[in-house]
Amino acid sequence: MSQIPRRNAIEVDIAVCTYRRTELDRTLRSLAVLDVPADTKIRIIVADNDVSPSAGARVEAIRSAVPFDITYVHCPSSNISIARNACLDHATGDFLAFIDDDETASSGWLVALLSTAEATGADAVLGPARATYLDTAPAWMKRGDFHSTLPVWVRGKIDTGYTCNVLLRRRATSLTNARFNLALGRTGGEDTEFFTHMTRSGGAIAFAPGAWVDDPVPANRASLSWLAKRRFRFGQTHGRLLQENSRGAGLTRKLAVAGAKAVYCFAAAVVSSFLPIPRYRYALRGIMHAGVVSGLLGVREIEQYGTLESTSR
């Protein structure tokens, strides 16, 4: 664990929400060898979302191999929003970082996030989650990299974010009393809503391209059907958030735009039928815009993290 010179002492909590994942060991071991700025204190919070405290023994077994304090929190319910809120409640540092329980952090992950936060003054800093595929994944999926997570810029800024790789400035005004929506704890989209509300409250999101984590894609997610379901749910969440500030003619206009985008993307997929990567990219984008229409119409998000996905969140 190398030390990076730094001017001011800070405290950073790193949150890992977990649900029955053996990969948690690998995640914690990657955090154990992080480069850490000098005069920076690190604490890890593990929020166990299982009904029984199944991760407790795993955390105790690895505790001696990790040079940072680990706070274990049991928050039973199988609702990821409850686990994320438990991390917010137990965090005491200047910053709170989130990483998923199946990801591994690069050695420079935290340094890159903190450096960008210092340079930009942003309330949140996102890093890239780089998908790693099994050999059995479809060739078009691996070549097109359909699972990596990156921020989306709209008119030169980032309007929302994700929790698989992010650093939060805990005392930012835009995050005062911020919570993850319990109603979205099994559908997903709770992080999109959280960050959208943050930016609507005046918060800024920055991007640290060097703060990467590796995100393995299990076999049950390496399918077109899983991607389609996820994109549709993304669209539903975005549509519902658009609906919050839309009434009458404004809502009709947004429905028309989303519908037109869906039609265009599906048509482009047909035109690209002999080219797998563009075909699937257009088709999935069309499905996302169809989800936006669904969300604008008030249809509740589909539940993506039920029994079959319970060990793959």
Longest Cα–Cα distance in the chain = 60
pTM here is 0.90
The pLDDT assigned to 304 comes to: 55
Contact 124, 191 (CB under 8 A): no
The pLDDT assigned to 214 comes to: 97
Number of Cα atoms under 13 Å in the Cβ half of residue 288: 13
The pLDDT assigned to 303 comes to: 62
Nearest-angstrom CA–CA distance, 17 and 175: 19
User: Quick check: helix, strand or coil at residue 217?
Assistant: strand
Which residues are CB-neighbours of 123 under 8 A, at least 6 positions away? 168, 169, 172, 174, 175, 198, 203, 204, 205
Which DSSP symbol is given to 170? T
Quick one: tokens of 180?
């993850």
Per-residue pLDDT tens digits of the chain, which is 313 residues long: 444 444 568 999 999 999 999 999 999 999 999 999 889 999 999 999 999 999 999 999 999 999 999 999 999 888 999 999 999 999 999 999 999 999 999 999 999 999 999 999 999 999 999 999 999 999 999 999 999 999 999 999 999 999 999 999 999 999 999 999 998 888 888 999 999 999 999 999 999 999 999 999 999 999 999 999 999 999 999 898 988 876 667 889 999 999 999 999 999 999 999 999 999 999 999 999 999 999 999 887 666 554 434 333 4
Nearest-angstrom CA–CA distance, 109 and 89: 24
Domain boundaries, the chain: 3-218, 224-296
The pLDDT assigned to 302 comes to: 65
Nearest-angstrom CA–CA distance, 252 and 249: 5
Quick one: tokens of 123?
């309330």
Nearest-angstrom CA–CA distance, 308 and 312: 8
The pLDDT assigned to 244 comes to: 81
Query: Which of 19, 29, 126 shows the shortest CA–CA distance to 83?
Result: 19
Nearest-angstrom CA–CA distance, 9 and 295: 44
Q: Which fold has domain 3-218?
A: Spore Coat Polysaccharide Biosynthesis Protein SpsA; Chain A (3.90.550)
Q: Alpha carbon of 73 to those of 85, 86, 91: distances in Å?
A: 11, 8, 11
Helix (H) or strand (E) holding 109: helix 109-120
Q: Tokens 């921020």 map to which residue?
A: 151
Note the pLDDT tens digit of each residue in 271-307: 999 999 999 999 999 999 999 999 999 887 666 554 4
Nearest-angstrom CA–CA distance, 87 and 85: 5
The pLDDT assigned to 47 comes to: 97
The pLDDT assigned to 261 comes to: 97
What's the sign of the alpha-carbon dihedral 141, 145, 150, 151?
negative
